[in-house]
Amino acid sequence: ADQLTLQLKWVTQAQFAGYIVAKEKGFYSDADLDITIAPGGPNVAPEQVIAGGGADIIVDWMGGALAAREKGVALVNIAQPFKRSGLMMICPTETGITSEADFPGHTLGVWFFGNEYPFFAWMNKLGLDTAEGGDVTVLQQSFDIQPMIQGQADCISVMTYNEYGQALDAGYGPDNLTIFNYTDMGNDLLEDGLYVMEDTLEDPAKVDAYTRFVKASMMGWEYALENPEEAAQIVVDSDDTGGAELAHQLYMVGEVSKLVDATDPALDMATYERTVKALLDQSIITAEPEGGFTTVVTDGL
Amino acid sequence: MNKPIVVSAKNLGLTFPTGDGDVIALSDVNLDIAKGEFVSFIGPSGCGKTTFLRTIADLEQPTSGTLTINGLTPAEARQNRAYGYVFQAPALYPWRTIAKNIALPLEIMGHSAAQQSERIARTMELVNLAGFEQKYPWQLSGGMQQRASIARALAFDADLLLMDEPFGALDEIVRDHLNSELLKLWARTQKTICFVTHSIPEAVYLSTKIVVMSPRPGRVIDVIDSPLPHERPLDIRETPEFLAIAHRVREGLRAGHSYEE
Amino acid sequence: MNKPIVVSAKNLGLTFPTGDGDVIALSDVNLDIAKGEFVSFIGPSGCGKTTFLRTIADLEQPTSGTLTINGLTPAEARQNRAYGYVFQAPALYPWRTIAKNIALPLEIMGHSAAQQSERIARTMELVNLAGFEQKYPWQLSGGMQQRASIARALAFDADLLLMDEPFGALDEIVRDHLNSELLKLWARTQKTICFVTHSIPEAVYLSTKIVVMSPRPGRVIDVIDSPLPHERPLDIRETPEFLAIAHRVREGLRAGHSYEE
Amino acid sequence: MPETGFGLLIPIVFGLALLFVWEVVTRGANVPQVLLPAPSQIWARLIDSVPTLIADFQQTFMKSVLAGYAMGCGAGFVVAILVDRSPFLKRGLLPIGNFVSALPIIGIAPIMVMWFGFDWPSKAAVVVAMTFFPMLVNTVAGLSQASEIERDLMRTYAASYWQTLFKLRLPAAAPFIFNALKINSTLALIGAIVAEFFGTPIVGMGFRISTEVGRLNIDLVWAEIAVAAVAGSAFYGVIALIERAVTFWHPSVRGGRA
Amino acid sequence: MNGKTLPILIVLAAILVIWYAAAIPMNAPWQERLNERAGLETSFIEFVGQTWSQAKPLLPVPNQVFGEIWNATIGTDITSKRSLAYHASITLSSTLLGFALGTLLGVGLAVVIVHNDASERSLMPWIIASQTVPILAVAPMVVVGLGAIGVTGLVPKALISMYLSFFPVVVGMVKGLRTPEGIQLDLMRTYNATAWQVFSKLRWPASVPFLFASMKVGIAISLIGAVVGELSNNAGGGLGVRLLTGSYNGQTIQMWAALFIAAALAAVLVIAVGSAERVANRAMGAQT
Ligand SMILES: Nc1ncnc2c1ncn2[C@@H]1O[C@H](COP(=O)(O)OP(=O)(O)OP(=O)(O)O)[C@@H](O)[C@H]1O
Ligand SMILES: Nc1ncnc2c1ncn2[C@@H]1O[C@H](COP(=O)(O)OP(=O)(O)OP(=O)(O)O)[C@@H](O)[C@H]1O
Ligand SMILES: Cc1ncc(C[n+]2csc(CCO)c2C)c(N)n1
Ligand SMILES: [Mg+2]
Ligand SMILES: [Mg+2]
């Protein structure tokens, strides 16, 4: 069997249900693959891991992947299961923020560590100065909703499938929140895609293995989205840390299903172009990327 | 002699427990020391002289019997700063210069800066250490360190002086000099002095009372009240009275020893 | 006298730099010590006796002049383990029992366990400390600590003994006893002994040569070759020869002092 | 004086050799820049980013580190004295002090952010928690260093607790206390930087490091690390100099001469 | 009840009281907002009860934390990934390995430094610089680097523990090995003792108080290192990972439980070093 390591972008959770389910359900071994799934975390940069040879395939956001490509890590998108962005910014109504026009003078929580590109692209579009003493104050937000609960930030970043659920649990909801959904605003940048190193694509055997991998993964996604309870349970069981909660993972599968297209992992060119333009606009990348994606895998499905 | 009693020991005993059995350092010691007396303690090494001084100073606790200082417990007397103590080892603080070491008790007892420097100068002169004020202890010879520690004990005016072999590391000349200085001081101030020494002539020359001790267990085997006059020129050491006392001390000392040469 | 020279100092000088100016501890010292001699050093406190012994032992470096030990440099002599040293302070290691402290040089010089315990027993007996093998230094009186350190230096058989006031904290009886033991040892083994003392009788009684020193700067002011016979009963101390030498030493000592009582 | 010049030379030569090997290896083996940039690249980036680096330094070192260090060392010291003062507290408080000893920094960092907000006070609080224990342990150990006879001397003066403390036990404890001050000088920096991984305004050395790792600007990360190393070494060096001046009497400083 | 437990109990009781009291104002704003939203009117007593029983409180109260600890240890199968005991054992093993390595390295370096002035000048600045390198930034590189050469699991985490814990040992032992008095060293010189003999018979025993103070700090820091190392390698589990996931899921109670276990682990380890210290002191005839 071909041995491959998949490096996740974050800790084990239903955001990656497709891969976890594919492994547990034996879809990978059926495809003659031996897949190791490496959880990520706040301290793990998948681009770095793959450059160092610690992984063969990584789950990454396109902003980070293309930026890394310019830095000399030749990442190539081979599939894009997530079609939409799950990123949102939410502001409790008591802050008085009801529209983008209300932002100036407020404090906005943002995830950094390579997750900040969509936010800056958006601010760039709004023409808001994010530098110190500028129109808005930017905070590096912790990966939870505490800054909002504690009023340290007026608005915070959330993922529909994760932190937003925590906010709902905490008694927040559409009736007391102003919600800015990046996808709805057309500000979304492509999220979880599968990337490999460019040089490996020259090896037909590798390409074949990648193809089988993507295929099996999509079976995993399909199965997960059809059987959310079982998927959530599988995710909880595969979490080494014992931190994952069944109810929350179930919620996450439900939300993720709105973002993933389990039947077609091919990259949507329109979204790709928009992502590239946004990245170029705020100089996250400096030139139109060449060879940042390939259809050779998805064509072979 | 109805001078007030300063130190009074009754059936005093002190036992040190150690890993391999108890050590009886003092046993059944009975002794009264009146105000203004100069008492020498003499006895073989390890017979309990230091331990007795330390018990008076409330640095050791008796395990039997009673001990009073000026009618008070040793602890109370210590709280009253009743005594000055010259240890057998110099115990100078290495981070202080010699002058600052001598200043230590003065600082603690709240003397003014002017008083301090006056007393430091006077006592350093007395022990012939002038010029070494700014040196640190490790820059001094053994005898110089010992003299510094004597100066430190003399710098404040305690009525009771406890001196544990203060002149052990000093040569004859310095010793004679300090002996007579000590006698002068004693005559002038009517201090009570408890003085440990290994030198029989020194003990006889200085004391109004000589306590001879013997070891294992440490006890008092002879107490000699000196018939010598208070006024003591150095050549008193050749008088028959002097030699008689010295002889008696030597005999006592020899009795306490186990040598049979 | 054509015995080989063990210690030879020529124009030896040693200056300590200190924070407030140099201290001249030794200046222009010339001295030859032949094999088998018993040399006493006597002089006022701070005159450089310890410093001279330390220089012989290669613990201080002379700043001028030359010094040879058995024709070698002090460093080479030290590497040959040419001498045993009794420091002025006991310098016992607090984490070792007395027996273990005495064993220290034996361990270092690679004696077998059997040899070690035999020597420990013998030297502890010699200094009259038998029974205190398992005690720690702080459980001993001052004089007992000093005796332990003497035992430690005697435990291994060095041909040259450097002893810095070894009997300073001991009473007359023990002192007499140890003096005669030391003389016996010396007569038996033909060791060369350099001996610092503050006691004029002790110096005269023990020595074949007495070196009188004087301070500021430390220098040798008199070297007295003793006419006393090698065989010395204790009552030799009453003979006119003895008293004459003692008188000469005392005069030298007095000259070195600044007192004018 | 030529001694000190020579003394400085050795680490510098050693360091230059190290940098040279690093440069040759990274270039020769073609190590990806995102894994380990060459020293020359780091230097170029450092020169480029001076204003950023200065701003980060001010935020992290001048505010979080110094404030936290002072408070943490101070608190450790004060608790050590309290514990020393009262046998009751010694039995009750010391085990609890041990408990605080290893409160993992990543555990308390988010909590401190909850309690003290995003800006430097929460980082300083983490530094306080990290530096507290080394100071507590060393001060407690140091306070038992005065020898029995040195204490007896104070007893004969019927010196008060505080007099004994200031005139004997603290000077005798100084070598231990300086150990803690030295260890803490580097711990404080680590603590402040790590704490910034858990939420911060967008300035600070830890913020920059985590963000730029995510952006794969590893050269800037190393430039920031270089600043941290220089600042930390200088901090340590200053403490070591003060130590030499204060504990001049200790055998370890005066060279063990009798 | 001996003389030791009573003071601990009293101090603990004091801490509990302060803790419960502090939880009220800390959790109050959020509770007020909740009640306002729900239109609830509560008495003060009820309100206090609410602040003590929030699901995701700012400051969980002791019974919540200890309840969680109970559930996650006694109440859970020890081999389960949800068991705090399981995670604690993972952290403990890398802590102990890292501490042992760190102590050895620290003592080794101190020995080299004390015996060779040139090595002090060339090593010490780099040892200091090494400690100023932010460990959390380098840890991932270490883990990735070691992973590339096939070293995974316990060792990378233990290496990070070692990296942090060797430093207090070096600093303390350099001082400790230099603490013998001049006259004690002179004695060894008169015996022409070898460097090894001076070390084993004088410097080492003299440095023991410094060694134990350093080891107490070292073992505490070692635990911090293990936890930090776990951040870069979530796969293995451990208390660090529990802390993180607790934080990401907003599970303050779970976080506090993990924090308490980690702190308790540290306290036990430090106390163990302290007991070893007492044994060593007794064997070395310490004056009591
Ligand atoms: N802390 C202690 N623990 C155990 N034994 C002790 C302790 N202090 C002293 N001793 C023992 O008590 C006895 C008396 O000791 P002390 O110091 O009083 O003698 P000393 O008369 O002063 O002798 P020296 O003239 O040698 O100083 C000795 O046998 C000694 O070993
Ligand atoms: N390490 C040092 N630094 C500075 N000065 C020193 C040092 N050691 C000794 N001295 C000085 O050198 C002089 C001689 O000291 P030394 O110890 O040799 O005297 P000594 O003859 O042995 O005196 P004592 O009989 O009091 O022991 C003294 O003035 C002393 O202050
Ligand atoms: C618990 C949780 N917290 C934050 C993020 C934000 N974040 C960090 S990495 C990443 C990419 C995931 O595809 C995102 C969204 C998350 N996902 N899950
Ligand atoms: Mg005594
Ligand atoms: Mg001397």
Instruction: Report the chain D residue with the minimal C-alpha distance to residue E243.
Output: D107
pLDDT of residue E64: 87
Tokens of C234: 């204790």
For residues B59 and B166, state if they share a domain: yes
Choose from E179, E181, E186, E187 for mutation: most chain C CBs within 10 A: E187
For residues C171 and C248, state if they share a domain: yes
pLDDT band of residue E288 (cuts 50, 70, 90) is: low
* Unique residue bearing structure tokens 């401190």: D112
Tell me, yes or no, if A124 comes closer than 8 A to chain D by beta carbon. Answer: no
Cβ neighbours of A298 (radius 10 Å): 22
pLDDT band of residue D7 (cuts 50, 70, 90) is: low
Mean pLDDT over A88-103 rounds to 87
Residue of D194, D76, D95 lying closest to E263 (CA atoms): D95
pLDDT band of residue B261 (cuts 50, 70, 90) is: very low
Q: How far is E214 from chain C (nearest CA, A)?
A: 20
Give B118-155 as a DSSP string.
HHHHHHHHHTT-TT-TT--GGGS-HHHHHHHHHHHHHH
Mean pLDDT over E240-261 rounds to 79
Q: Do chains A and D touch (3 or more CB pairs under 8 A)?
A: yes
For residues C64 and C105, state if they share a domain: no
Q: With beta carbons less than 8 A apart as the criterion, state whether A215 and A11 touch.
A: no
pLDDT of residue C261: 35
The amino acid at residue A68 is A
- pLDDT higher at E47 or B12: B12
Task: Give the residues across from C139 on adjacent strands.
Answer: none
* Unique residue bearing structure tokens 């976890």: A20
Instruction: Report the chain E residue with the minimal C-alpha distance to residue C92.
Output: E184
Contacts of A39 in chain E (CB under 8 A): 234-235
Contacts of E251 in chain A (CB under 8 A): 243
pLDDT of residue D1: 32
For residues C164 and C153, state if they share a domain: no
For residues C132 and C209, state if they share a domain: no
| SS3 assignment for chain C | CCCCEEEEEEEEEEEEEECCEEEEEEEEEEEEEECCCEEEEECCCCCCHHHHHHHHCCCCCCCEEEEEECCECHHHHHHCCCEEEECCCCCCCCCCCHHHHHHHHHHHCCCCHHHHHHHHHHHHHHCCCCCCCCCCHHHCCHHHHHHHHHHHHHHCCCCEEEEECCCCCCCHHHHHHHHHHHHHHHHHHCCEEEEECCCHHHHHHHCCEEEEEECCCCEEEEEEECCCCCCCCHHHHHCHHHHHHHHHHHHHHHHHCCCCC
| pLDDT digit string, tens, across residues E129-156 | 888 777 766 777 777 777 767 777 788 8
The verdict on a CB contact (< 8 Å) between E171 and D182 is: yes
Nearest CA to ligand 2 atom 2: B139
Average pLDDT, chain D: 84
What angle (nearest 5°) sits at the alpha carbon of residue E165, between those of residues E163 and E169? Answer: 120
Give C141-183 as a DSSP string.
-HHHHHHHHHHHHHHS--SEEEEESTTTTS-HHHHHHHHHHHH
For residues B26 and B140, state if they share a domain: no
Ligand 2 proximity of B134 Cβ (cutoff 6 Å): no
In chain B, the percentage of residues whose pLDDT exceeds 70 is 97
pLDDT band of residue C257 (cuts 50, 70, 90) is: low
Residue of B69, E111, B221 lying closest to D158 (CA atoms): B69
Count helices and strands (H / E) in chain D.
13, 1
Task: Give the residues across from B40 on adjacent strands.
Answer: B195, B210
Residue E170 scores a pLDDT above 90: yes
Q: With beta carbons less than 8 A apart as the criterion, state whether E143 and E225 touch.
A: no
For residues B37 and B124, state if they share a domain: no
Residue E111 scores a pLDDT above 70: yes
Contacts of E242 in chain A (CB under 8 A): 241-243
CATH of the domain at C185: 3.40.50.300
pLDDT band of residue D67 (cuts 50, 70, 90) is: very high
Taken as a whole, chain E contains a residue count of: 288
Task: Give the residues across from C18 on adjacent strands.
Answer: C21
Residue C128 scores a pLDDT above 90: no
Mean pLDDT over C9-32 rounds to 88
Residue B150 scores a pLDDT above 50: yes
Taken as a whole, chain D contains a residue count of: 258
d(C-alpha E51, C-alpha E31), whole Å: 6
d(C-alpha E181, C-alpha A281), whole Å: 70
Nearest CA to ligand 1 atom 5: C139
Pocket-testing residue among C139, C170, C171, ligand 1, by greatest number of atoms within 8 A of Cβ:
C139
Ligand 2 proximity of B143 Cβ (cutoff 6 Å): yes
Average pLDDT, chain E: 83
Instruction: Report the chain D residue with the minimal C-alpha distance to residue B101.
Output: D167
Round the CA-based radius of gyration of chain B to a whole number and report it.
18
Q: Which atom of ligand 3 is nearest to the CA of A15?
A: 13
Tell me, yes or no, if B57 comes closer than 8 A to chain D by beta carbon. Answer: yes
Residue D104 scores a pLDDT above 70: no
Neighbour order of strands in the sheet with A193-197: A33-38, A2-7, A57-60, A193-197, A75-79
B partners (3+ CB pairs within 8 A) are C, D
D partners (3+ CB pairs within 8 A) are A, B, E
Mean pLDDT over E260-281 rounds to 87
pLDDT of residue C253: 81
What angle (nearest 5°) sits at the alpha carbon of residue C75, between those of residues C74 and C79? Answer: 115
Local structure of A197: helix, strand or coil = strand
* Sign of the CA dihedral with B131 first, then B135, B139, and B140 last: positive
Mean pLDDT over E105-112 rounds to 94
Mean pLDDT over D171-189 rounds to 91
pLDDT band of residue B210 (cuts 50, 70, 90) is: very high
For residues C123 and C31, state if they share a domain: no
Round the CA-based radius of gyration of chain D to a whole number and report it.
22
What is the maximum span of chain A, computed from C-alpha positions, in angstroms? Answer: 58
Of C59, C93, C97, the CB nearest to E189: C59
The verdict on a CB contact (< 8 Å) between A146 and E250 is: yes
β-pair type (B192-196, B38-42): parallel
Tell me, yes or no, if D71 comes closer than 8 A to chain A by beta carbon. Answer: no
Domains in chain D with CATH codes: 56-247 (1.10.3720.10)
For residues C140 and C167, state if they share a domain: no
The DSSP secondary-structure symbol of C33 reads: E
Round the CA-based radius of gyration of chain C to a whole number and report it.
18
Residue ending a domain, choose from C133, C157, C181: C157
Count helices and strands (H / E) in chain C.
8, 9
Contacts of B57 in chain D (CB under 8 A): 152, 155-156
Phi and psi for B45 in degrees, rounded to 5? -55, 130
Local structure of C35: helix, strand or coil = coil
Phi and psi for C166 in degrees, rounded to 5? -65, -25
Residue ending a domain, choose from B157, B173, B207: B157
Residue ending a domain, choose from C104, C138, C157: C157
For residues B175 and B77, state if they share a domain: yes
pLDDT of residue D257: 42
| pLDDT digit string, tens, across residues B82-136 | 889 999 888 899 999 999 999 999 998 889 999 999 999 999 988 888 888 999 9
The DSSP secondary-structure symbol of C226 reads: -
> What b/e string do you get for E112-130 counting C-beta neighbours within 10 Å, with b at 16 or more?
ebbeeeeebbbbbbebbbb
d(C-alpha B123, C-alpha B116), whole Å: 11
pLDDT of residue A44: 79
Contacts of E232 in chain A (CB under 8 A): 41, 43-44
Tokens of D164: 């004994």
* Unique residue bearing structure tokens 């402040």: D192
Phi and psi for B67 in degrees, rounded to 5? -145, 125
* Sign of the CA dihedral with C200 first, then C202, C204, and C208 last: negative
d(C-alpha B85, C-alpha B58), whole Å: 11
Tokens of B228: 């010598």
Choose from D118, D219, D220, D221 for mutation: most chain A CBs within 10 A: D118
Residue of E236, E242, E237 lying closest to E146 (CA atoms): E236
> What b/e string do you get for B92-118 counting C-beta neighbours within 10 Å, with b at 16 or more?
bbbbbbbbbbbbbbbbbbebeeeebee
Q: How far is D163 from chain E (nearest CA, A)?
A: 22
pLDDT of residue E234: 58
pTM of the full structure: 0.86
pLDDT band of residue D29 (cuts 50, 70, 90) is: confident
For residues B72 and B13, state if they share a domain: yes
Phi and psi for C16 in degrees, rounded to 5? -95, 125
Q: How far is C169 from chain B (nearest CA, A)?
A: 6
Region of residue E241 (phi > 0: left; psi between -120 and 50: alpha; otherwise: beta): alpha
Round the CA-based radius of gyration of chain E to a whole number and report it.
24
Tell me, yes or no, if A150 comes closer than 8 A to chain E by beta carbon. Answer: yes
In chain A, the percentage of residues whose pLDDT exceeds 90 is 13
Ligand 2 proximity of C112 Cβ (cutoff 6 Å): no
Contacts of B58 in chain D (CB under 8 A): 155
Residue of A5, A9, A2 lying closest to A56 (CA atoms): A5
In chain D, the percentage of residues whose pLDDT exceeds 90 is 22
Residue A55 scores a pLDDT above 90: no
pLDDT of residue D106: 67
Residue A93 scores a pLDDT above 70: yes
List D residues 131-190 in contact with E (Cβ-Cβ < 8 A). Answer: 133-134, 137-138, 141-142, 144-145, 148, 175-176, 179-180, 182-183, 186-187, 189-190
Q: With beta carbons less than 8 A apart as the criterion, state whether A190 and A275 touch.
A: yes
Cβ within 8 Å of residue A101, ≥6 positions away:
none
Owning domain of residue B61: 5-82+160-257
Average pLDDT, chain A: 86
**Residue D117: exposure state from Cβ atoms within 10 A (0-12, 13-18, ≥19):** middle
- pLDDT higher at A227 or A171: A227
Tell me, yes or no, if A114 comes closer than 8 A to chain D by beta carbon. Answer: yes
Tell me, yes or no, if B135 comes closer than 8 A to chain C by beta carbon. Answer: yes
pLDDT of residue A42: 73
Task: Give the residues across from C24 on adjacent strands.
Answer: C15
Task: Give the residues across from A139 on adjacent strands.
Answer: A109, D201
d(C-alpha A192, C-alpha A214), whole Å: 13
Instruction: Report the chain C residue with the minimal C-alpha distance to residue E204.
Output: C95
> Is residue C41 within a helix (H) or strand (E), and if so which, with residue range?
strand C38-42
| pLDDT digit string, tens, across residues C131-176 | 889 989 988 988 899 899 999 999 988 889 999 988 887 888 888 8
Alpha carbons within 13 A on the beta-carbon side of E33 = 16
Of E148, E231, E249, the CB nearest to A43: E231
β-pair type (C38-42, C192-196): parallel
**ipTM of the predicted structure?**
0.85
| pLDDT digit string, tens, across residues B13-70 | 999 988 778 888 898 999 999 998 999 999 888 889 999 999 999 999 999 999 999 8
The DSSP secondary-structure symbol of B164 reads: E
Nearest CA to ligand 1 atom 6: C139
Q: Which atom of ligand 1 is nearest to the CA of C146?
A: 26
Tokens of B100: 């600052």
Neighbour order of strands in the sheet with B38-42: B83-86, B160-164, B192-196, B38-42, B209-214, B219-225
Q: With beta carbons less than 8 A apart as the criterion, state whether D67 and D116 touch.
A: no
pLDDT of residue E31: 81
Phi and psi for E286 in degrees, rounded to 5? -60, 145
Nearest CA to ligand 3 atom 4: A143
The verdict on a CB contact (< 8 Å) between D134 and E217 is: yes
d(C-alpha E182, C-alpha E190), whole Å: 12
d(C-alpha E75, C-alpha E66), whole Å: 12
d(C-alpha E245, C-alpha A143), whole Å: 10
| pLDDT digit string, tens, across residues A110-125 | 888 777 888 888 888 8
For residues B12 and B72, state if they share a domain: yes
pLDDT of residue D184: 92
The verdict on a CB contact (< 8 Å) between E284 and C95 is: yes
pLDDT band of residue A19 (cuts 50, 70, 90) is: very high
Instruction: Report the chain E residue with the minimal C-alpha distance to residue D135.
Output: E217
The verdict on a CB contact (< 8 Å) between E136 and A41 is: no
The amino acid at residue B79 is Q
* Sign of the CA dihedral with D59 first, then D63, D66, and D71 last: negative
Residues lining ligand 3, Cβ inside 6 A: A 9-10, 15, 61, 111, 115, 143, 159, 162, 191-192; E 248
The verdict on a CB contact (< 8 Å) between D155 and B80 is: no
Q: With beta carbons less than 8 A apart as the criterion, state whether E114 and E172 touch.
A: no
Residue D256 scores a pLDDT above 50: no
The DSSP secondary-structure symbol of D118 reads: S
Q: Do chains D and E touch (3 or more CB pairs under 8 A)?
A: yes
d(CA A299, ligand 3 centre) in Å? 29
Tally of domains in chain B? 2
Average pLDDT, chain B: 87
pLDDT band of residue E159 (cuts 50, 70, 90) is: confident
